[in-house]
Structure 1
Amino acid sequence: MQLTEDFNPSKAVKLLLRRSRQGAVATLMVGSGDPYCSLVNVASHPDGSPILLISRLAVHTKNLLADARVSLMLDERVEGDPLEGARIMLSGRAEEAAPGDEILRRRYLSAHPSAEAFVNFQDFSFFRIRPTETHLVAGFGRILDLKPAQFMTEIADAAGLLQSEQSAVEHMNTDHQEALDLYATRLLGAAGGNWRCSGIDPEGIDLQAGNRTLRLDFPQRVTDPGGLRKMLVRLAEQARTRETASDH
């Protein structure tokens, strides 16, 4: 995460929420109230709130069911000193998903395909962390607190997009692998690879190749399938233009 003079803290938090696949979750021990920290896999809801898939046999799940207060740390994975990367400590309350919540299920499985092996086990449940605030550390002089309104993605006007998200993700991964690779390499400067789409929301598209993750923000919000189609074509054309220019 480059720290420039036009550094945008809201964008920095959003980027960590979208790109992170693991985090440290802190809960309160049943009975004693002592802090308890553990490693979990995470995904993001279309509005940016973290999604967990955890077993009721785990200590942190038992803690959450007794006291929903939670803190989640997400960090930018950098080479060298980990403290040189940006990180957030997000506070909130964990809510167990209602049975049949397809949004949480598909978003999590898209980010963690290997979870298909145990997602249907009876002791596993999806939880969504509803943020109350977050503490951002992004370098010297860039330490501040943000409220949800500053980093959550508005989805109230995007029902059409959310209903078509899964089909759009599948379509991109099946029929437009070249475009996804161009997004990653030409628009985001990443190395080539088997890039696939793992999620779409009104503000951008999430890309993933193995354990590498990227976020491509849209220049304008998209709230319906027609607008999404036009935006993806526009970005592909932009990427191809850069590809052509780089060849000369």
Structure 2
Amino acid sequence: MIERDDALRPVDDAARAQAKRMIRTARFAALATAAPGDGWPSASRVALATLIEGAPVFLASGLSVHSDALAAEPRCSLLIGEPGKGDPLAHPRLTLFARAEKLAREADADARRRYLARHPKAGLYADFGDFSFWRCEIARADFNAGFGKAYALEAADLAPRVDWSRLAEAEARMVAHMNADHAESVRHFARICGGEDGAWTLTGVDPEGADLACGDAVRRLEFMTPVADGNALRAALVALARRAV
């Protein structure tokens, strides 16, 4: 019998990059929790966005079963991956093992901004009194990139390669500026990464790339070199604006 460890591939930069790209571009996930009381596994669907450091966030009603479950036991898992044509098991999927934390209203500004940029229709109910944003601190992950391509990832494998704290000071301002004053450049960014023409917006920037959305379509534009502050980000965006498609 083949042991699990024998079936795993060594984690390399390509696997790390693909897994991080999946997290950044995921619009939804299957959330698994332990049901309150009896502990039975309970699965639900949540819509996702990510914070600058890569932590997934979702919005949930306090009336939902998974909100009660996470209040009692914060450990959970998130399954992400978009099935395509043919065998759904032939397509990459990623299971994140995480601890979920409900964010207080006075501390959820970044989560709210980035989530609503990805899911603008959620603005209809995000401010309802029973809704809260939840942040998921990733502990580890199981990554199946296709048949015979299984990896066990640690939290460090999914974290940005550079410190993001200085970039966080400029990120919201830069995103708003690009969307308001450089819409054509944003559309150009989308074309670079295969997006069709449309009203694309930046939904967030992090040290390793920029996330874009147009309706239900999302794209990830990855930087050649990680950026650590606002000046480096500005230089990277200017260079990309001049890049041919």
Tell me, yes or no, whether TM beats 0.5.
Answer: yes
**Residue 137 of structure 2, aligned match among 130, 141, 147:** 130
Within-5 A mapping of 1:74-223: 74-101=80-107, 102-153=109-160, 157-185=163-191, 187-223=192-228
Task: Report the alpha carbon displacement of residue 81 of structure 1 after superposing the two structures with TM.
Answer: 3.5
* Alpha carbons 1:14, 1:151 under 8 Å: kept: yes
Q: Counterparts of 2:188 and 2:232 in 1: how far apart (Å)? A: 20
Deviations 1:144-180 (A, max 9, x none): 110010112256x333321221221111112212112
Q: Which residue of 2 aligns with 1:3?
A: none
- Please state how far the C-alpha of 1:7 moved relative to its aligned partner: 7.8
In 1, Cα distance between equivalents of 2:90 and 2:13: 16
Q: Is the 8 A contact 2:161 2:226 kept in 1?
A: no
SS at match of 2:243: helix
Are 1:22 and 2:12 counterparts?
no
Q: 1:77 to 1:200 in 2, by over 3 A?
A: farther
Is 1:237 the equivalent of 2:242? yes
- Count of residue correspondences: 233
- The 4+ residue runs of structure 1 with deviation greater than 3 A are none
SS of the residue corresponding to residue 160 of structure 2 reads coil
From 27, 32, 47, the equivalent of 1:41 is: 47
Q: Deviations over 1:197-243 (max 9, x none)?
A: 0100111100111111111111111122111111100011113xx4x
What is the CA distance between 1:98 and its match in structure 2?
Answer: 2.8
* Cα distance in 1 for residues equivalent to 2:149 and 2:205: 29
1:219 is paired with a residue of what secondary structure?
A: coil
Cα offsets for 1:84-140 (capped at 9, x unmatched): 321101111101113322111111111111111111111111111111111111112
Unaligned runs of 5+ in 2: 1-11
Structure 1 gap ranges (5+): 1-5, 243-248
CA drift of 1:77 comes to 4.5
> Counterparts of 1:41 and 1:138 in 2: how far apart (Å)?
22
1:80 is displaced (CA, Å) by 4.0
How far 1:79 moved relative to its partner?
3.6
Q: Which amino acid aligns with 2:242?
A: E
**Cα distance in 1 between the residues matched to 2:16 and 2:156:** 9
The normalised TM-score by structure 2 is 0.90
State whether residues 44 and 66 of structure 2, in contact with CA within 8 Å, keep that contact through their aligned partners in structure 1. Answer: yes
TM-score, normalising length: structure 1: 0.89
